[in-house]
Every structure is written in C-alpha cells, then in structure tokens.
Amino acid sequence: IEEAGVHSGDSACVIPPQTIPEHILDTIRENPQVLLDVLRSNSIALLDIAQEGSNKRRISTLKEQWSKDLTIKKTFHCNDRPVYGNKNAKVRIIAFSDFTCHYCFASKATIEKILTEYKDKVSFIYKSSPMVENGPSAIASAWFLAIAKQDQEKAWKFYNEMFEGKEMLQSDNLSFIRKTAQKLKLNMAKLEKDVKSDKKIKTMLREDREDGDSHGVEGTPVFFVNNLVVRGAVPYELFKIAVDMALKDAE
C-alpha cells in the first residue's frame, strides 16, 4: 500500500476498502515473485488446505455413490459361512479379501474397530478373493472354512493368525497353516480330510468367486456394507460413514 502512495496518517490519501483488492492484484502482477515467496513460506499450510479440500470432495462423491448403492439390492451366498458378531445384526459387512494382501491387512484394524464400536448392530463375513487362484490365500481360506466346521471361534483365531503372519503364509504356506491349526488344538485328521474332499467347502469357495464376479470385485479388499460398496483400505472415519448410512437405511 505504501508503494501505491498511501500512508496511514494521511486521511486524504486513504483508499476506499472496496478498491484495495484491485491494488493488491496490481502489486502482484507487477511483482509476481512476492506471491511465490508467500506461497513457499506457507507451503505446509497450503498442502493441508488442499488435502482438506480433496478429502471433502472425496467424502461428498462417496456419499452420493453410496446413496445410489442403497437403492440396489445385492445378494450373496452366506449360508453356513462363519459370522463374526451378531448373526441377526442390521448391518452385515461382507469382505472380499486375500490373506496375503497388504491393503486387506491394513483394513483389518478398521473392521475390528467398527465391530467393537457398533457391537450387536454389525456383523462380519469373510469371502475368499485370492490374487492367485490356487495360491496361499486360497489354501488358507479352505482351512478357515474347515476349521469353522469344528469351532467357529477358533476359525476366527486362525483368520487373525493368517493375516498377522502373511509373510510366513507366503513363504511356507501349508507348513505355516498346519502349525497354526495345531496350536489351536483341532482334530487335524478331520481337518486334512475336509480340506481335501469336503464338497460343501469347495462349493462355498466357488460361490465366493461367483459372488465376486457378479458384483464387480476386481481387486482386494472390497467391502459390502449391506448394499453399500466400499473399495480399498479406506480410513476408519470414512468406513464409519458407510456403516451409519447403511444402519439408518436398515432402521
């Protein structure tokens, strides 16, 4: 303002407030380096503002998509699947997942937090969606279902161990799977037999593949919160929005 010939003590030279922005723009046009210096010195704050704006747009876009999802009924094969939580919960989260997937592992803590917070209002089902058709995750999924035939609580302990030891699962797969099952004190002879020849287990794994194909699952993880589709390892706060929308719709 001083460069424009305005001094705070000279009332005759005071620029009306409505004209100040134009003078500022003129100064910036004449001295663009001034603006660049200001931006550089406030780069972290500017990045925070940009990130906040990006997050708001993402949430707005997802809410719009999820509102559409609510109107499209989605069905899955869930009979005889292990269910974590209240089987009659108003909201059911169905996860298409892979035990060796980094993003699936990252999502595990989010799902656990959701189940703890919402208690009996939310339940959870795991569906096998292996990146490699006959790879370690596919093998572990068959064992998960076979263990559930003996003890569902132990099946979920096995589920946790597979994720926590995903590197071991990838390198030693069947050896790691057997050792984990043995620690759970299960009937190993029956387990081995069921994994190899139980037609029901084979049918459930085939149905998981069919459900994934019919609902456009092309990567992992993908979660169906009742009819809402949540793709990828989204933050807890975002996943919570989906659960709240599904719960409100169910009620």
Q: What is the pLDDT of residue 37?
A: 74
Q: What is the pLDDT of residue 115?
A: 97
Q: What is the pLDDT of residue 5?
A: 41
Q: What is the pLDDT of residue 6?
A: 39
- Tokens 């999924």 correspond to 141
Which own/partner contact pairs does 191-195 have at CB distance under 8 Å and 24+ positions apart? 191/143, 191/146, 191/147, 191/150, 194/146, 194/149, 195/142, 195/143, 195/146
**Rounded average pLDDT per 10-residue block, the chain, 251 residues:** 42 48 72 72 64 64 90 94 96 98 96 97 98 94 98 98 96 94 96 96 97 96 97 94 96 88
With beta carbons less than 8 A apart as the criterion, state whether 153 and 185 touch: no
